[in-house]
Chain A
Amino acid sequence: MKAKDRLLAELRASVPQVAPADAVAMQARGVPLVDVRDPEEVSQGSPVGAHRVGRGRLELRIEEIAPDTAAPLLVMCDSGTCSLFATEDLRRLGYSDVRSVTGGFTRWKNEGLPVEVPRGLDRDYRERYSRHLLMPEVGDAGQQRLLDSSVLIVGAGGLGSPAAMYLAAAGVGRLALVDHDVVDRSNLQRQILHTDARVGTPKIESARATLKALNPNVDVVGIGERLTRGNVERLFAGYDVIVDGTDNFPSRYLINDACVRLGLPNVHGAVYRFEGQVSVFWPAGGSGPCYRCLFPEPPPPEMAPSCAEAGVMGVLPGVIGLLQAVETVKILLGLGELLVGRMLYYDALRARFSELRVPRNPACRYCAEGAEFPGYVDYERFCAGAS
């Protein structure tokens, strides 16, 4: 008798075995079911609600799933053989009531018991996001969270380009871009979503082509409308984060006001020649300020030339847009310390970041504690008439 067969015979005699139908009942009572098959097998289907941990990582992960080593635990493999070995491993770790599912997944499926195809466990997912999956701060749970999340970027331009590309690469499930412009050759010095061949085509079409080429799994939503107070709430509805990559004050105030009203985080970036500003305005997320706390009014147009008039170093919006993407991912994953209540000011020529404190203005008409939303305004007039 081979050593393997001897051990199996021992295990069969000593490990309690449970028929699949009984395992379903135990699952319903809260007993964890661990599917120890390889990811390739699991990607074809796995019991509903099972924890999927390949045998190679079982000892590393099991305590997250079953912290109580005295409580019952179900283990399943393909046919009911490997799960016996896995049971032995778990016993060695101290688990005292491990049971193996007889006949494994093959029998489970044949008996018509509930099966699901775990999303994203396919080969593309594991390869594409492997560097995320390796990090405990992201891992499978974090990556699933990114896949389930949605981000709306206003402006498929200098800031929106790098932000969108990295968010798509990171696996943000739904990425919307709001832009009604067409690609101009003068955009290409910094707007890396677009290409020379796509000059003259709508930016949202160009953006979609680039983002889909990078990560075909992302649902790219192109919104070729100008953002107005009439459509802003409809367009923002259902998104987790708004990224402000616009180039004008009316849009910035409109985005701010809508985000305050809807309780959404507004990931703000702005650039001018060699300087950039980044912050997260999110009063609903804590005690942070809104954009109006810092800038209650826009400057008069003659005092705030746009990049089209004043120019911008092409790389600069890349830096700022990427910082916006970083903050967005942190929000989606609930990681780290956000740029809420702080602004990063980047001076590219000095190669210097300054951190500025931006507390909430207790008298802010839009976001002060208990303030009633004062409504949207005529933003063009508001920004043209500021003094």
Chain B
Amino acid sequence: MPTVTVRIPTPLRGFTAEADEVTVDAADVGGAIHVLNAAHPGIAARILTPEGELRPYVNLFVGTHNVRDLDGLASALREGDVIAIIPAVAGGAR
């Protein structure tokens, strides 16, 4: 199974003991979130709805591509891929 890196955005680092990257073995993006959640319980609920869909205010990118433009959570992973979790951010530091 490919080993991939998941980049954790700051708002979700509370789940990963402040780690900004986590390495997981998974065949597809949904699998990677599942493995991530097994190691860091609770994080998946911030990314997926209770029905298991991607939340509308979170985007997952594999490399430069949004998984919504690929095969969603079924998007296949290759060895060394980088998954970036990109949340909507409000801050303008006002």
Contacts and interface: CB of A to CB of B under 8 A. Distances in A.
Interface stretch (A5-13, A124-132, A165-173, A298-306): A298-306
A274 B93 contact: no
Interface string A227-252: 00000000000000000111111001
Contact of A304 (B59, B61, B64, B89): B89
A356 B10 CA distance: 17
A244 B91 CA distance: 11
Given A272-B89, A273-B10, A305-B11, A295 B57 contact: yes
Contact of A272 (B11, B57, B58, B69): B11
A359 B94 CA distance: 29
Contacts of B20: 347, 349-350
A336 to B, nearest CB: 19
Given A296-B56, A297-B56, A304 B87 contact: yes
B84 A306 contact: no
A283 interface: no
Given A304-B87, A312-B91, A357-B64, A275 B57 contact: no
A295 B7 CA distance: 19
B90 interface: yes
Interface in B7-21: 7, 9-11, 20
A272 B94 contact: no
A349 B21 CA distance: 12
A307 B92 contact: yes
B88 interface: yes
B78 interface: no
B66 A357 contact: yes
A316 B7 CA distance: 19
Contacts of B57: 295-299, 303-304, 386
A359 B68 CA distance: 10
A32 interface: no
Contacts of A155: 92, 94
A247 B92 contact: yes
Nearest to A249: B90
Contacts of A294: 59, 66, 88
Interface of B: 7, 9-11, 20, 46, 55-59, 61, 64-66, 68-69, 84, 86-94
Interface of A: 155, 157-160, 181, 187, 190-191, 244-249, 252, 269-275, 277, 294-299, 303-308, 310, 312, 314, 316-317, 343, 345, 347, 349-350, 354-359, 361, 386
Given A249-B88, A269-B92, 19 more contacts: A155-B92, A158-B92, A160-B92, A244-B92, A245-B92, A246-B90, A247-B90, A271-B91, A272-B10, A272-B89, A272-B91, A275-B89, A295-B88, A298-B90, A304-B11, A306-B90, A307-B91, A356-B61, A357-B65
8 contacts: A191-B94, A252-B90, A272-B10, A296-B56, A304-B87, A347-B20, A356-B84, A357-B65
